[in-house]
Structure 1
Amino acid sequence: MYSNKENVNILTSLLVKEGINKAVVCPGSRNSPIVHNLCTCPDIECFPVTDERSAGFVALGMTLADNDPVVVCVTSGSALLNVAPAAAEAYYQNRPLIIISADRPTQWIDQQDGQTIQQHQTLEPNVRKSVTLPEPHNEEEHWFCNRLINEALHATRLNGGGPVHINVPISEPLFEYNVPQLPNERKISLHPASTDDNYVYEMAADFFSGKKPMIILGQLIPEVVGNTLDAIEALKKCAVVIQEKLADDDIAPAQPTDEVLKMIGEDEAYHPDHLLYIGGTIVSKRLRQFLRKSKCKMSIVVNESGACCDTFMNATDIIQGCAEDVIGIFANETEDGKEKDFVSLWKKAFDKALAIRETINPRFSQLLAVKTFHEKMREEAIDGELFYGNSMAVRLGNIFSDQYIYVNRGVNGIEGSLSTAVGYAIAHQEEEDVYCVIGDLSFFYDQNALWNESLSPNLSILLLNNGGGGIFHQLSGLEHSPYRDSAIAAQHTTSAEGICQAHDIVYLSAHNEKELDENLDKFFNSEEGPVLLEVFTNAADDAQALRDYYQAF
């Protein structure tokens, strides 16, 4: 039996008709009619998560697993505010997250009634659509409720897609479940318009007329990268293509872009005259700074919303289109194209940097830990998906990974990295292993990701613990502040061992190179899961190892 709340039943019916089959649900009384319906519905699988902030990122991870919309449902009041970080990340990654919040009746807002705040549009501007449903009392209000839900669900796919917020006021009594079946609700189907792509072909021809064309591939979902591997290879014949592991699903060494930029210094010969930027954010600050100095005659930005996103401060054109289509169109213009001198110049630099990288043997550090982690994955032909935390972790991954990296790079925040990996692992627990490489502050901030009854045994966590925010030891000048370690870098002496014991996670640790090597073998071959390997390093040694690495170029 379903709840007797009409707006909740209309919503549940339309979620089913939209093909939505996963929901992360959080505790509460006001949202209990919604949670009850989601759990009752045979077409929707529910995953309880107590911490709303973690729940939002768990749902985000699930959207990454299947590229389908996922619901996260929270109760009224401050519970909704805790989903804001995940909403922002989903917004900048264009992920179809459906945030459903229960609300108190309008007449009780600002009347000092418990868990009652202004919830309508609370998550804007970081959602594509916000709606507050009526509690229908007649046919017209029922129609209005239906229409608002259809509009919100459409917005998860329009203009590149993204998160939406559906706010559901629910009056008491809350706990009556006497409706035998969901209503047969009207689903309004969306058919996005197709546009003439002739102008894109013309721009592609103009682009390749440049002497020094360069293509930057920002963060892309792996499905897009996988579908365009051949097209990207074709582009590499006629243009320099720069892609981090956030946009590279080809099993090959990570492109040494930062290393090359360190080598070439201020040499103008390496700057492009024509630039094409497709996809989301890039990690490399060096690359952004390099391209902001480039005097491009033509600089094209591609995104599905048509937004004027001028990352490199030299945009001349915006193409509103999806990455896969535009990559294909530009690749078609490279047929029988001769390799340009500019491409050869960069190829030689990449080859030189890769050769230098092969000779580097770092001291015991986070650099060595990530290098050894990826070497063992290659040696043992270990297959699995990679999730990286932000800050130093993803920078190290972009040096040593030879496969695609998932990372919450929409906002670049440290919160939610572990929860996102947990969500992906739950969604794919019968299919593949998930490896999360994460720094200590990111891990401890998001440790409630492990307080999750759905935690999957296919999750393995490599925790890089140097007792604080390691990246703050890389920032020149910050060493002059006496508060760098204690206040800015959040210095600590915390270990994950107790957390692992509390959540029945296999715990391993390494304090030196020998223990790292031995316990990585156990980490990859553990018959039980989840498993966590905590690598303890010194922040000063980590900083020096990275300086030594780049001084080699």
Structure 2
Amino acid sequence: MYSTKENVNILTALLVKEGITKAVVCPGSRNSPIVHNLCACPDIECYPVTDERSAGFVALGMSLADNEPVVVCVTSGSALLNVAPAAAEAFYQKRPLVIISADRPPQWIDQQDGQTLQQHRALEPNVRKSVTLPEPHNDEERWYCNRLVNEALNALHLNGGGPVHINVPITEPLFDYDVMQLPDERRITVYPAVTNDTSVYEIAADFFCSKKPMVVLGQLIPEIVGNLLEPIEEIKKVAVVIQEKLADDDIGPSQPLDEALMMIEGDDSYHPDHLIYIGGTIVSKRLRQFLRKSECKMSIVVNEGGDCCDTFMHTTDIIQGAAEEVISILANETVGVEQKAFVTQWDKLFDKAKAIRNTIKPRFSQLLAVKTFHHKMREEAIDGQLFYANSSAVRLGNIFSDQYIYVNRGVNGIEGSLSTAVGYAIAHQDEEDVYCVIGDLSFFYDQNALWNESLSPNLSILLLNNGGGGIFHQLSGLERSPYRDSAIGAEHTTSAEGVCQAHDIVYLSAHNKEELYENLDKFFNSEEGPVLLEVFTNVEDDAQALKDYYQAFK
């Protein structure tokens, strides 16, 4: 039996027609008709999460797992505002989240009634579409409600896609459930525009005629790069391809980007004269600064929305098109093109940087912990998906990872990294292991991700705990502030052991090299899960280890 609320039933019916199969639901009375419908619907599996901020990121992780839209449903009031960080991350990652909020009737907004605030468009501009549904009383209002839901669901996929917000005012009574079946609702299908192949072929031909062509791949979902391994390899024969592990699904050592850029500082011969930038953000600040100094005759940005994203400050053309289509066209145009000296020059540079990297033996530090973690994965052929938190963690992952890295680089926030990994692990709990490498501030900020009745045993967490925001010890000049450690870097003495006990998680710890090696064995071979290994390091040692590492490349 379904709710008696018509707007809720119209919405539920269209979610089913959209093919949505997963919903993260949060507690509340005003959203109870929606939650009831989602749980009663045989086509949708529901996952309760109490903390709305975590719930948004859990839904994001589920969306990453299956590359499909996922619902997150919250009640009225400030509950919706807690989803804002996940909405922003999904917006800049172009991930299809359906954010559904229950609302109070409009006449009671701003009237000092309980749990009321201005919810309409509360998540803009970080959603692709915002709609507030009517409570229908006649056929025209039912048509209007149907149309608004269709508009929102279509916006999930157009212009590269992204999150949408559907706000649902619901009047009392709330708890009547005597509708036998959902209505047969009209689904309006919108077909996205296709890439202008002719224009792309012309641009590609000019691009490969240049002396120093370079392609930069920003963050891409693994399904895209996995399908494009061969075309990318063809492009690499005739152009320099720059890619971090956020856009590389080929099992093998990562490109030593920052290391190479340190080695060639001041050498203009490595700058491209033609540049194509495809995909989302890149982690390396040094790479962005390097490319901003490049004087490019042609500098092309590719994205599905046609957005004017002038990251390197010299864009000449924008291609509105899908990454897969443009990369395939570029690969087709490599036929008959001779390899450039520019490509050989960069290949030799990368080889030299990799050789230096292999000789470095860091002190006990977060650098050593991540290096050993990946060495262990490679040595024992351990398979699984990798999630990295932002700040220092993902930078270390980009040095040592042999495989694709998931990371919330849409807005680069520390919140939600653990919840995103939890969501992915829940969605794939019977299929593959999920490893989350995370710093202490990110972990403790998002520890409610573990307060989750759906938490699955395939999750393993490597927690790098140096007692605060270690990256602040790497920022030159900040040491002049007496408040760097206490206020800016959030210095602390917290451990995750109690958190693990509260949530029945296997807890391991390491305070030196010997414990790190010993407990990494237990970490990877634990017969129970989830499991967490907390590596305690000194923030000054971490900063010095990283300084020593990069000093080797100067």
- Classify the TM-score, shorter chain: over 0.9
Residue 168 of structure 1 aligns with which residue?
168
1:466 matches 2:461: no
Shift of 1:196: 3.3
1:328 matches 2:328: yes
Which secondary structure does the structure 1 equivalent of 2:437 belong to?
strand
Residue 349 of structure 1 aligns with which residue?
349
Q: Which amino acid aligns with 2:523?
A: F
Measure, in 2, the Cα distance between the counterparts of 1:60 and 1:116. Answer: 26
Residue 266 of structure 2 aligns with which residue?
266
Measure, in 1, the Cα distance between the counterparts of 2:247 and 2:192. Answer: 26
Which secondary structure does the structure 2 equivalent of 1:468 belong to?
coil
Measure, in 2, the Cα distance between the counterparts of 1:265 and 1:372. Answer: 29
Residue 13 of structure 1 aligns with which residue?
13
Shift of 1:192: 1.9
Measure, in 2, the Cα distance between the counterparts of 1:257 and 1:196. Answer: 32
Measure, in 2, the Cα distance between the counterparts of 1:340 and 1:451. Answer: 54
Measure, in 1, the Cα distance between the counterparts of 2:314 and 2:286. Answer: 16
Residue 412 of structure 1 aligns with which residue?
412
Aligned positions of 1:357-372 closer than 5 A:
357-372=357-372
Residue 191 of structure 1 aligns with which residue?
191
Q: Which amino acid aligns with 2:134?
A: P
Residue 43 of structure 1 aligns with which residue?
43
Output the aligned Cα RMSD: 0.5
Shift of 1:94: 0.3
Residue 388 of structure 2 aligns with which residue?
388
Shift of 1:335: 1.1
Aligned positions of 1:494-513 closer than 5 A:
494-513=494-513
Q: Deviations over 1:404-455 (max 9, x none)?
A: 0000000000000000000000000010000000000000000000000000
Which secondary structure does the structure 1 equivalent of 2:237 belong to?
helix
Which secondary structure does the structure 2 equivalent of 1:426 belong to?
helix
Measure, in 2, the Cα distance between the counterparts of 1:213 and 1:184. Answer: 54
Shift of 1:118: 0.3
Q: Please say if residues 10 and 183 of structure 2, whose CA atoms lie closer than 8 Å, have aligned partners that are also in contact.
A: yes
Measure, in 1, the Cα distance between the counterparts of 2:409 and 2:522. Answer: 30
1:84 matches 2:84: yes
Residue 489 of structure 1 aligns with which residue?
489
Which secondary structure does the structure 2 equivalent of 1:242 belong to?
strand
Shift of 1:197: 1.0
Residue identity (%) = 83
Measure, in 1, the Cα distance between the counterparts of 2:389 and 2:196. Answer: 40
Measure, in 2, the Cα distance between the counterparts of 1:262 and 1:268. Answer: 13
Measure, in 1, the Cα distance between the counterparts of 2:371 and 2:260. Answer: 19
Q: Which amino acid aligns with 1:93?
A: Q
Unaligned runs of 5+ in 1: none
Which secondary structure does the structure 2 equivalent of 1:61 belong to?
helix
Size of the alignment, in residue pairs? 553
Q: Please say if residues 194 and 321 of structure 2, whose CA atoms lie closer than 8 Å, have aligned partners that are also in contact.
A: no
Q: Please say if residues 159 and 305 of structure 2, whose CA atoms lie closer than 8 Å, have aligned partners that are also in contact.
A: yes
Measure, in 2, the Cα distance between the counterparts of 1:276 and 1:418. Answer: 33
Q: Please say if residues 195 and 320 of structure 2, whose CA atoms lie closer than 8 Å, have aligned partners that are also in contact.
A: no
Shift of 1:190: 1.9
Q: Deviations over 1:280-330 (max 9, x none)?
A: 000000000000000000000000000100000010000000000000001
Q: Which amino acid aligns with 1:77?
A: G
Which secondary structure does the structure 2 equivalent of 1:83 belong to?
helix
Measure, in 2, the Cα distance between the counterparts of 1:192 and 1:517. Answer: 51
Shift of 1:337: 2.1
Measure, in 2, the Cα distance between the counterparts of 1:107 and 1:56. Answer: 28
Measure, in 1, the Cα distance between the counterparts of 2:447 and 2:192. Answer: 40
Q: 1:512 to 1:2 in 2, by over 3 A?
A: same
Q: Which amino acid aligns with 2:18?
A: E
Residue 452 of structure 2 aligns with which residue?
452
Measure, in 1, the Cα distance between the counterparts of 2:129 and 2:454. Answer: 30
Q: Which amino acid aligns with 2:314?
A: N
Residue 34 of structure 1 aligns with which residue?
34
Which secondary structure does the structure 2 equivalent of 1:287 belong to?
helix
Shift of 1:194: 2.7
Q: Which amino acid aligns with 1:471?
A: I
Residue 288 of structure 1 aligns with which residue?
288
Q: Please say if residues 58 and 424 of structure 2, whose CA atoms lie closer than 8 Å, have aligned partners that are also in contact.
A: yes
Measure, in 2, the Cα distance between the counterparts of 1:195 and 1:208. Answer: 20
Residue 338 of structure 1 aligns with which residue?
338
Residue 204 of structure 1 aligns with which residue?
204
Measure, in 2, the Cα distance between the counterparts of 1:395 and 1:165. Answer: 33
Measure, in 2, the Cα distance between the counterparts of 1:330 and 1:39. Answer: 46
Residue 98 of structure 1 aligns with which residue?
98
Measure, in 1, the Cα distance between the counterparts of 2:337 and 2:251. Answer: 25
Shift of 1:338: 1.6
Q: Which amino acid aligns with 2:379?
A: E
Unaligned runs of 5+ in 2: none
Q: Please say if residues 20 and 69 of structure 2, whose CA atoms lie closer than 8 Å, have aligned partners that are also in contact.
A: yes
Q: Please say if residues 429 and 458 of structure 2, whose CA atoms lie closer than 8 Å, have aligned partners that are also in contact.
A: yes
Q: Please say if residues 386 and 405 of structure 2, whose CA atoms lie closer than 8 Å, have aligned partners that are also in contact.
A: yes
Q: Please say if residues 258 and 286 of structure 2, whose CA atoms lie closer than 8 Å, have aligned partners that are also in contact.
A: yes
Which secondary structure does the structure 2 equivalent of 1:238 belong to?
coil
What TM-score results when the alignment is normalised by the length of structure 1? 1.00
Measure, in 2, the Cα distance between the counterparts of 1:211 and 1:266. Answer: 20
Q: Which amino acid aligns with 2:428?
A: H
Q: Deviations over 1:100-141 (max 9, x none)?
A: 000000000000000000000000000000000000000000
Which secondary structure does the structure 1 equivalent of 2:167 belong to?
strand
Q: Deviations over 1:259-279 (max 9, x none)?
A: 000000110000000000000
Measure, in 1, the Cα distance between the counterparts of 2:415 and 2:165. Answer: 20
Shift of 1:195: 4.5
Q: Which amino acid aligns with 1:136?
A: P
Which secondary structure does the structure 1 equivalent of 2:464 belong to?
strand
Q: Which amino acid aligns with 1:127?
A: V
Q: Which amino acid aligns with 1:53?
A: R
Q: Which amino acid aligns with 2:371?
A: K
Residue 66 of structure 2 aligns with which residue?
66
Which secondary structure does the structure 1 equivalent of 2:545 belong to?
helix
Measure, in 1, the Cα distance between the counterparts of 2:298 and 2:203. Answer: 10
Q: Please say if residues 195 and 321 of structure 2, whose CA atoms lie closer than 8 Å, have aligned partners that are also in contact.
A: no
1:532 matches 2:532: yes
Q: Please say if residues 523 and 531 of structure 2, whose CA atoms lie closer than 8 Å, have aligned partners that are also in contact.
A: yes
Measure, in 1, the Cα distance between the counterparts of 2:308 and 2:74. Answer: 34
